[in-house]
Amino acid sequence: MKITHKKQKTIIKPKKRQAMDGRILKRQKGQKGLYIATFGCQMNEYDSKRMEELLYPQYVRVDTPKDADLILINTCSIREKAEHKVYSLAGRFRKLKEKRPELIIGIGGCVAQQEGERLLKRLPYLDIVFGSHGIYRLSDTLNRIERGEGPFVLTDMGDEFKMPPIATPLPVPHPVKAFVTIMQGCDNFCTYCVVPYVRGREVSRPKEEIIEEVKRLVEAGAKDITLIGQNVNSYGIKGSSSRGSGAKSAFNTTFPELLREVAGIKGIKRLRFTTSHPKDFTDEIIEVMAEGLPHCNHLHLPVQSGSNHILKLMNRRYTRERYLKIIEEVKRRIPDVSITTDIIVGFPQETENDFNDTISLLKNVQYDQIFAFKYSPRPFTKALQFDGQIDEEVKSARLSTLLEVQREIGLKRFKRFEGRVVEVLVESQNPAREGELIARTTNNLVVNITASNDLIGRLINVFIEEASYHSMRGRALTP
């Protein structure tokens, strides 16, 4: 079981990229160093990877800021704490700029979109501020900065989602796992969420581009593909009145149809998707998942609250009863499914009864993992103006209670695998333990094994010897 306060993932020291022959990819003469620090969600991780690809070969990623000619901070504004981390990190980079004025520093992502020109006033040493739509103008803008122009703010949002092709692929093997974005933005306007304001309105990516990218990744060595978006269930609908009905859009493809087409690409061993919105989750999606591998028996379905009162205040547009009905059908069609979720505690006006409804839903569903966090007021959102804001002490107490309940549930869920033989995909070395590999079940649960590196990228059987509340330990049965 994995339980967390939804802390934003911070990548301060990117892993070294390996060349095709296993050596560290080194800068060639004339190439410049690129350092990227990434905060936030899988969408941000994907965006950072895209930046690296788009700027290659002019820039090559380096391990430390002091080796960089260009530093980019890809930000998240879902939580206030994440913003504070961004400003703290940017302050440290200022000293590098003072020593090397030619160093280019940029802030991108959600905080950049949210703050825009204000970031330049607060951090006058920045050269570029860009939102998620500005990623694809980075290369040209950097050339202008090098010519002495700037600084620049790229925060305008387009109505289409077309990615330029990668001119020169990175000469490195791709990791076993890969994310592929199928849409950006969101039209749901949950009252606590800043995403529609910083990533824009929902725009689906053409199916042909998605298929082409997946094929490229699989040819490069990826075997576990995750389709990502703010609300993947509404892929292709682009905000029409038919949303959630499964009707086809101008792309002539529904999300279930996209899943089936991607699953048919030769070489894919695992196919996942995130994030789903319960209001748009259909029986057809369940039907596709139940067809078996490469569709994985794992579903991340954020509930946010178990109280109908709070769900209405959040503008989630489904009820507790509707959510539980979805879960019931998923479990019926996919008996060994693992279900994970997001939960917010301490939302404005949340009473003890509301919170107890969330606890009872937790016990009802029996999640394998949860991502839980305290409500954090965000700019532009309606909930910022709600009466009945909850004291931090109350939020903390409720979060502790929630995590304790989930700890017992999750441990029981993980323990069900002890003594079983399961198939896993070996993903990578364990950076925390030498000689140990990280593998993952189709349920999206981590299994640590002691084995040689030549198993990376392979599907093997393991015997689960021990389970804890966040991962398992297994013994490889395949040499």
Q: What is the pLDDT of residues 129-186, one digit of tens each?
A: 999 889 989 999 999 999 999 899 999 886 666 677 777 777 766 789 999 999 988 9
Domains and CATH numbers, the chain: 3-154 (3.40.50.12160), 177-408 (3.80.30.20), 421-476 (2.40.50.140)
Distance in angstroms (rounded) separating the CA atoms of residues 432 and 120: 38
Mind listing the pLDDT tens digit for each residue in 412-451?
A: 999 999 999 999 999 999 988 888 999 999 999 999 999 9
Model pLDDT, residue 291: 96
Q: Which of 240-244, 247-251, 279-283, 456-460 has the lowest average pLDDT?
A: 240-244
Contacts of residue 309, defined as CB under 8 A and 6 or more positions apart, other chains included, come to 349, 351, 354
Q: Which residue has the higher pLDDT, 223 or 12?
A: 223
Q: Residue 161 has what pLDDT?
A: 65
Alpha helices in 293-452 (DSSP H): 308-313, 320-333, 352-365, 392-415
Position 23 pLDDT exceeds 70 = no
* Predicted pLDDT at 78: 76
* Helix residue spans in 314-351 (DSSP H): 320-333
pLDDT at 351 over 70: yes
Mean pLDDT computed over every residue of the chain:
89
- How many secondary structure helices (H) and strands (E) does the chain include? 13, 21
pTM for this prediction: 0.86
Say what the pLDDT of residue 85 is.
84
Question: Which residues is 450 bridged to in the sheet?
Answer: 436
Q: Model confidence over 298-341: pLDDT tens digits?
A: 999 999 999 999 999 999 999 999 999 999 999 999 999 999 99
Q: Which residues pair with 370 in a beta bridge?
A: 3, 341
H helices present in 127-206, as ranges: 138-146, 195-198
pLDDT at 246 over 60: no
The CB density around residue 318, as the number of other CB atoms within 10 Å, is 19
Q: Contact at 8 Å (CB) between 178 and 226?
A: yes
pLDDT at 239 over 70: no
**Which run of H or E residues covers position 218?**
helix 207-219
A 10 A CB-CB count for 3 gives 21
The pLDDT of 73-85, averaged and rounded, is 81
Phi, psi angle pair for 444, to nearest 5°: 75, 25
Both tokens of 395, joined, read 């939020």
Question: Measured between alpha carbons, how far is 193 from 197 in angstroms, rounded to an integer?
Answer: 9
